[in-house]
Amino acid sequence: MGHILSRDTRSIQKWFVEIIVEELDWPAQTMFQHLVEMYLSLSCPTDNCDLHFKVSRDHYSGYPLTVEGFAYLWAGARASYGVSRGKVCYEMKILEEIAVKHLPSSEPDPHVVRIGWSLDSCSTQLGEEAFSFGYGGTGKKSSDCKFEDYGEKFGENDVIGCFIDFDAGGEKVEMAFSKNGVWLDVGFRASREELAGRPLFPHVLVKNCAIEFNFGQKEEPFHPPPEGYIFIQTLGIEDRTRGAVGPASKADCEILMMVGLPACGKTTWASKHTESHPEKKYNTLGTNAIMEKMKVMGLRRQKNYAGRWDVLIQQATQCLNRLIQIAARKRRNYILDQTNVYGSAQRRKMRPFEGFQRKAIVICPTEEDFKERTLRQTDEQGKDVPDQAVLEMKANFVLPELSDFLEEVFFVELQREEADKLVKEYNEEGRKAGPPPDKRYDNRPGGFRGNGGGYQRYDDRGGPRGGVGYQSRDAGGHRRGNNRGGYNGNRWGGNGNYREGGSAPRSSGYNRSAPYSKGAYNQVTMDTSVCLSVSAH
């Protein structure tokens, strides 16, 4: 069908559409013709971007959530189609630098965009791994997390042209950029042999900025491309490559809930499993994954954060709450990378994902291996969870069972019989230690992994105490929408504000109407447009 609907076969396309349309009533005719239009265009689909990146209804523009902790996060999106031959280009305009007055004045580069190309298998963190090439608004280019000076700084209202030349002589594929129509020269040269014919896709990574793409769908470009380059949208379907498409239904989606004590190996297993199954495009949900999106120049925040670490961790946990709520409404595959040792937490966290394939992945290493891993993590990253918190988790550790909210349970290391014996020993050890004194760990700016509070990500119980402690219901829970408002009530069709995506007062958000705000986040379409994606990774 892709070839029948190619721009290079207009007569066949017209004949094909007319035959089908004649058999449909008027409403069905209109819908079918709309689907054909969408199928032909290249745009930003909703299945290959970060959960906190919102794509407009036309799939050619978008912006990130910026409320509270989200303002620290990068949000990325990749186009629906890539290319592996010819001289191809596209444009990106920064429509607005969104107000984020809640960020501290010490925050480096609160508004920045990185634009370029990447393989479909790369993460959304453009420029931070191999075969991911980005030019950033700070006047830097990066690939494989190596940053170098390049071009000029750019910001609000600037238009960046992105050009890729597969016809360049020699063994290299060349990538160049322009700013407001001024050529900035070649920024990257990628090995043709190492690319091995794999297509590169338009890719954007934003921090608190609204952006718009021109893949060639506009009647007139922002700036004419150099001679020989054509917009990616004008290529026939046979000359572009479709990126991976997300699951067709909830029944095709899976969520893997990690279960295990801190430092037992959950994140390591999740990373390896994701790498081993690229076709699944797993989204990892966890505070660790949130912190990865808070990097500055490719470096984790622990290395260069001047503020209170416990406050940042608390905000990251609130971001995770929101992302889990969003995730339950999206057709993607997920790994929930938290401890999840409390039986109540296992049930509470899986219930919103009804209709998914819900599986538990239990990691119970031997006591010797567990101690070794804990020491190694402490040496490499600092003390993440206080000993008393681990003891309380041990006291309440419950191995998951098959139930109405879990279809499968897998044991990665010790199998159920051995794991059950070990967990009973944990229960006894934890109970003998007794409960911690009231408030002992609440709101404490202590020194756990970089200045405190880091153990929030090990929420499980959703207990009543709240605060900064690991028992806080805010630490990964789903029972309530945090931070003043729900995700759906927003400027995309509701009464909320631009930053919040909820029902906060108008004074706290961005409310002006804009062409890129008229859309629905959850729209599903047939899509051959080069457009922005909103799923996996």
Q: Looking at the predicted structure, is the pLDDT value of residue 84 above 80? A: yes
Of 24-28, 405-409, 473-477, where does mean pLDDT reach its minimum?
Answer: 473-477
> Pairing between strand 140-143 and 146-149?
antiparallel
Q: pLDDT at position 10, please?
A: 36
Least confident of 28-37, 156-165, 215-224, 486-495: 486-495
- Read off the pLDDT of residues 1-18 as tens digits, 9 standing for 90 and up: 333 333 333 334 444 444
59 in Cβ contact with 45 (< 8 Å): yes
Among 203-212, 277-286, 430-439, top mean pLDDT goes to: 203-212
**CA 176/CA 189 separation, integer angstroms:** 9
Rounded Cα–Cα distance for residues 251 and 432 (Å): 44
pLDDT at position 21? 45
pLDDT in the model for residue 37: 43
> Can you give the C-alpha Rg of the chain in angstroms?
24
The reported pTM is: 0.77
Cα separation, 34 vs 302, in Å, equals: 49
Tokens of 270: 């999740």
What was the pLDDT predicted at 298?
76
pLDDT confidence bin for 491, thresholds 50/70/90: very low
Name, in order, each residue with C-beta under 8 angstroms of 521's C-beta and a sequence gap of 6 or more.
Answer: 46, 54, 55, 488, 492, 534
Q: Measuring CA to CA, which residue among 406, 394, 124 is closest to residue 256?
A: 406
How confident is residue 503, by pLDDT bands cut at 50, 70 and 90? very low
Q: Is 358 helix (H, G, I), strand (E, B) or coil?
A: strand
Q: How much is the average pLDDT of 46-51?
A: 83
Return d(Cα 202, Cα 83) in angstroms, integer: 9
Average pLDDT, integer, range 240-248? 91
Statement: residue 92 has pLDDT above 50: yes
Closest CA to 197 of 135, 131, 292: 131
C-alpha triplet 353, 257, 317: angle, nearest 5°: 85
- Mean pLDDT within 136-163: 98
Domain 250-458, CATH number (from 3.40.605.10, 3.40.50.300, 1.20.120.530, 3.20.20.210): 3.40.50.300
Confidence of residue 82 (pLDDT cuts 50, 70, 90): very high
Query: What is the model's pLDDT at position 458?
Result: 43
pLDDT band at residue 303 under the 50/70/90 scheme: low
Task: Please state, for a pLDDT cut of 90, what percent of the chain lies above it.
Answer: 61
Please tell me the class of the 53-67+81-242 domain.
Answer: mainly beta
Give the mean model confidence (pLDDT) for residues 168-175.
Answer: 91
Q: Residue 292's CB: how many other CB atoms inside 10 A?
A: 17
Q: Helix, strand, coil proportions of the chain in percent (round to 5)? A: 30, 25, 50
- The pLDDT assigned to 472 comes to 36
**What pLDDT does residue 443 have?**
38
- DSSP summary character for residue 26: H
- Domain boundaries of the chain, sorted by first residue: 7-40, 53-67+81-242, 250-458
Q: According to the model, what pLDDT value does residue 308 have?
A: 73
Question: What are the pLDDT digits (tens) for 348-380?
Answer: 999 999 999 999 999 999 999 999 999 998 888
User: If pLDDT is split at 50, 70 and 90, which confidence band does 302 have?
Assistant: low
Q: What's the 3-state SS for 281-346? A: CCEEECHHHHHHCCCECCECHHHCCCCCHHHHHHHHHHHHHHHHHHHCCCCCCEEECCCCCCHHHH
Average model confidence (pLDDT) for the chain?
79
Between CA 87 and CA 94, with CA 91 as vertex, the angle to 5 degrees is 160
* CA dihedral over 113, 68, 338, 429, signed as positive or negative: positive
Q: Decide: helix, strand or coil at residue 502.
A: coil
Looking at the predicted structure, is the pLDDT value of residue 120 above 80? Answer: yes
User: How many other C-beta atoms are found inside a 10 Å radius of the C-beta of residue 266?
Assistant: 25
Q: How far apart are CA 502 and CA 487, in angstroms?
A: 6
Phi, psi of 254 (to 5 degrees): -135, 150
pLDDT of residue 296: 85
